[in-house]
């Protein structure tokens, strides 16, 4: 057996001290394309209308906080869109409370649904307080 036969495993038969070879099952999946499916959502279902992700560590160091969310998409016709929240803004606080992770973000939105509250955002080195009228949950 050559060294290039990586699909095989050598085993020692301890009773007769002979080598035995066993075929290992090896599957390799190759993909030349990827398909994603998008479904159009109704705008009135969004309380705020912005999708977030974790803030990169270097940006957190620049801002000086560990509790924030990066806005990575804003849905047109939603409170976030109407309040001029942009993709790339960093959400620091909702109604004066720090945003602690994705769950903290959604919990704060649900707690203040239907209310007008301030969002504190960091944009390009400056901090802004933005008043936002949130939608009520449907």
Q: With a cut of 50, list the residues of the chain below it in pLDDT.
A: 1-2, 4-14, 43
Handedness of CA 62, 129, 87, 55 (dihedral sign): positive
- Considering the domain boundaries, does residue 21 fall inside one? no
pTM exceeds 0.85: no
131, 118 contact by CB (below 8 A): yes
Query: What CATH number is associated with residue 101?
Result: 2.30.42.10
Residue 20 lies in a domain: no
Residue range 3-31, pLDDT digits in tens = 544 444 444 444 555 555 555 555 555 56
Parent domain of 92: 45-133
Count structural domains, the chain.
1
69 domain-assigned: yes
């Amino acid at each position: 057996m050559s060294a290039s036969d990586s699909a095989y495993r050598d085993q020692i038969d301890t009773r007769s001290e002979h080598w035995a070879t066993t075929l290992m099952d090896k599957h390799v999946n190759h993909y030349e394309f990827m398909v994603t499916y998008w479904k159009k959502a109704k705008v009135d279902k969004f309380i705020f209308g912005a999708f977030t992700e974790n803030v990169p560590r270097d940006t957190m160091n620049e801002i000086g906080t560990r509790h924030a969310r990066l806005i990575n998409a804003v849905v047109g016709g939603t409170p976030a869109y109407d309040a001029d929240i942009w993709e790339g803004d960093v959400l620091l606080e909702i109604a004066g409370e720090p945003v602690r992770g994705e769950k903290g973000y959604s919990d704060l939105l649900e707690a203040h649904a239907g209310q007008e509250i301030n969002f504190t955002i960091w944009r390009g080195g400056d901090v802004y307080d933005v008043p936002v009228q949130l939608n009520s949950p449907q």
